[in-house]
Amino acid sequence: MKYKLALSLLISSVIHTAATNFAFAEQQDWLEQGWSEKDRHEWYRGTQGSRLIPYSWFRARAMVKSSV
């Protein structure tokens, strides 16, 4: 029990230190690609493919036993 508590305190302190020391860029320079601000926002904030198929379909596919 003592080890679990010590380990969780160590991990949380490492995560806190990493999060507080993260530096954000003051300015972002975008390459000229002919994108509008809306296009850029949709690309960088979009799902990037995680919505290709419903998750329930993925789980059902993963559970099927294959003879191959």
As a whole number of angstroms, the distance between CA 7 and CA 30 comes to 42
- The residue range of the domain holding 10 is 2-64
pLDDT of 54 reads 78
State if pTM tops 0.85. no
13-68 confidence digits (pLDDT tens): 777 666 566 666 777 788 899 999 999 888 888 776 666 777 788 778 766 565 54
Estimate to the nearest angstrom the gap between the alpha carbon of 15 and the chain centroid. Answer: 16
- How many domains, the chain? 1
3-state SS assignment for residue 53:
coil
Question: Is residue 17 within 8 Å of 27, Cβ to Cβ?
Answer: no
- By residue count, the chain amounts to 68
